[in-house]
């Protein structure tokens, strides 16, 4: 009864964020695009992929697949909003070179294939292959602990532990 009258705060939840791609870790501040490097979209990290596969970094639900297939939004089971943006200035490719394997509403687990892309085409036609992963709703986050890495493996390497507010 008191919960209904006064509301209740749930306990904070931790989310382990896995690498969305195999490749090289890039600090968000080193991403050659101020939208990401100045954290206008949120906190996070980036990976420079060495292969053309993007996997889910969390367990959750697909909330957005951009029509141009260059980005995917996921809401983790703990309530964290995660955006994976494949390459820089890739929206201009209008989906060319990208194949999506998920749709809005799909449930995903860490390591599930989200998008495949032609590495050579994206490297040639986009500004950069660097793929930012950002937590777009800063007010959801209580704490972020980054796990410093150099070389990362898609769906396996722990990148960060994010504590989501209760």
Residue 125 has pLDDT above 80, yes or no: yes
Say whether pLDDT at 7 is over 90. no
Tell me which residue of 150, 47, 146 sits closest to 163, measured CA to CA. 146
Angle made by CA atoms 30, 135, 69, in degrees to the nearest 5 = 85
The HSE-up count of residue 115 (CA atoms within 13 Å, CB side) is 28
Predicted pLDDT of residue 9: 62
Q: List, for residues 9-49, the tens digit of each pLDDT value.
A: 678 999 999 999 999 999 999 999 999 999 999 999 999 99
Q: How far does Cα 45 stand from its chain's mean position?
A: 8
How far apart, in whole angstroms, are the C-alpha atoms of residue 39 and residue 94?
25
pLDDT at position 80 over 50 = yes
Task: Give the full edge-to-edge strand order of the sheet including 158-164.
Answer: 13-18, 158-164, 141-146
Mind listing the domains of the chain with CATH numbers? 9-164 (2.70.70.10)
Residue 164's pLDDT band (cuts 50, 70, 90): very high
C-alpha separations of 159 from 25, 31, 72, 97, 118 in Å: 9, 16, 18, 27, 24
85 is catalytic: yes
Active-site hit among 70, 85, 101, 147? 85
């Amino acid at each position: 009864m008191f919960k209904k009258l006064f509301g209740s705060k749930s306990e904070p939840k931790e989310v382990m964020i896995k690498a969305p791609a195999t490749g090289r870790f890039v600090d968000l501040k080193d991403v050659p695009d101020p939208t990401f490097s100045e954290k206008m979209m949120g906190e996070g990290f980036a990976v420079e992929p060495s292969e053309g596969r993007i996997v889910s970094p969390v367990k959750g639900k697909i909330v957005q697949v951009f029509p141009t297939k260059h980005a995917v939004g996921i809401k983790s089971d703990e309530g964290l909003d995660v955006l994976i943006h494949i390459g820089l200035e890739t929206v201009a490719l209008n989906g060319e070179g990208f194949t999506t394997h998920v749709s809005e509403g799909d449930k995903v687990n860490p390591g599930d294939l989200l998008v495949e892309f032609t590495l050579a085409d994206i490297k040639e036609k986009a500004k950069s292959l660097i793929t930012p992963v950002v937590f777009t709703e800063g007010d959801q986050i209580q704490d972020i602990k980054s796990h410093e890495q150099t070389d990362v493996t898609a769906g396996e390497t722990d990148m960060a532990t994010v504590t989501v507010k209760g």
